[in-house]
Structure 1
Amino acid sequence: MSLTQFKQQVTSVDELVEVIGTPGELALRKELKQLDDHMRRFIANSPFVVISTHGADGRCDASPRGDAPGFVHVLDEHSLLIPDRRGNRRVDTFRNLLETRRIGLLFLVPGMGETLRINGRAAIIRDEDHLAPLIAGGQLPHLAIAVEVEECYLQCAKALLRSKLWENHERPDLSSLPCAAEMFADQAQMPEFDAAKLQVLLDGAYQRLY
């Protein structure tokens, strides 16, 4: 598929406003330049955040991060720390941050429809005094992402209400999906790793979260 197949593309802000309209005063005024007490409590109760970054070449990345509620530490109203846990070592997020230092965060709290959005600048840090409070599973993180908040606001619940994300009875039947090991095997196309071998590797990896 090529984007050129779409003949009625929106190409200007004026056209976008003509189609969508303008935001109300509340939507504009809820945006803050620093974390307030409500946002700090939201982060303290959040076990999951999506980190969005982009590289100097414009390539984008969205990476999920999760741990016990409050795993992201708020230092003050302008800064927070996100610990780096054991992963696949692709370091896509880190590569992008080294190039642009731009970051976007989306925090979720299970059962709550609203989400918290934060945009700002970021750095990869190794300061031991800041890493020490981020220990989990008996393991000290090697790195953390320090975020300097530039704008933050609560997003309304419409998307999560439409998706019924937190409603158990609305969850899809996973039997229609192949297991992760099968998908990885088909995508990687490595003869030495069939689905069965990959499942063993995944089972072991999922036992080592820290």
Structure 2
Amino acid sequence: MTGYTEIKDESELRELIDHPSPAVRRKQLDCLDAHARAWISRSPFCLLATADAEGRCDVSPRGDVAGFTHVVDDRALAIPDRPGNRRLDSFRNILDNPHAGLLFMIPGVQETLRVNGRARLIKDAPFMDAMAVRGRRPLLALLLDVEEVYFHCAKAFKRSGLWDVSGWPDRGELPTFGSILKDQLRLDQPAAVLDEHISATEARELY
């Protein structure tokens, strides 16, 4: 492709965007303080970022009842694995490359909490039983050894209006998941049948 002016190094980048303020640098911690712990305890949702050994990236959603993330201590946290699509993209990446990032969100709150560190997959730990839901103990959990912790400002959420209900689209204007799968997988079943099956499977396999 032509017509692009590509930035090649950080010096070029800094010609466009100045260095962060000292306060922005200082807000980065190397452990979970009281504010981070309180945030995590109230967060029902986070995004998990990983990359494989060759740098190919993946971002995966993780969610459950607020407080589902277990804070082991000020330098470690654990996220239980719940039933999903069994692709294991994030987990296979972690086996190749342990560096991982988490972005914790709270509905209606425009700030977020970023936690970066080195991840491990564990199948047993003293806190695993406490992660059981409906009598089902998770088969494994992601244990993150914390290296960086910092709160992110609300600008992206303010610009996007993400939590402004008045700006939310009408769900009916978007294709259903069944419609998307029908087209992408070239399935014969009607989209309505696929949507019904997806809904029933999700309800049955949440835990």
Which TM-score band (shorter chain)? over 0.9
Match of 1:154 in 2: 151
SS in 1 for 2:126: helix
Q: Which runs of 5+ in 1 are unaligned?
A: none
Could you report, residue by residue, the CA deviation over 1:81-111 in whole angstroms, capped at 9, with x for unpaired residues?
Answer: 0000011111101100010111100000111
Structure 1 Cα separation of the partners of residues 193 and 54 of structure 2: 36
Where do 1:12-161 residues align within 5 Å?
A: 12-161=9-158
TM-superposed deviation, 1:174: 2.1
* CA pair 7-86 structure 1, distance change in 2 beyond 3 A: same
Identity %, equivalent residues: 44
Structure 2 Cα separation of the partners of residues 149 and 104 of structure 1: 10
| Normalised TM-score (structure 2) | 0.95
TM-superposed deviation, 1:194: 4.4
| Normalised TM-score (structure 1) | 0.94
Could you report, residue by residue, the CA deviation over 1:9-29 in whole angstroms, capped at 9, with x for unpaired residues?
Answer: 111100111101110111100
Which runs of structure 1 show a deviation greater than 6 angstroms over 4 or more consecutive aligned residues? none
TM-superposed deviation, 1:6: 4.7
TM-superposed deviation, 1:201: 2.0
TM-superposed deviation, 1:189: 2.3
Q: Which runs of 5+ in 2 are unaligned?
A: none
- Pairwise CA RMSD of aligned residues? 1.3
TM-superposed deviation, 1:137: 2.8
Could you report, residue by residue, the CA deviation over 1:101-135 in whole angstroms, capped at 9, with x for unpaired residues?
Answer: 11100000111111000111001101153311111
Given the alignment, which residue of 197, 200, 204 partners 2:200? Answer: 204
- The letter for the 2-side match of 1:81 is A
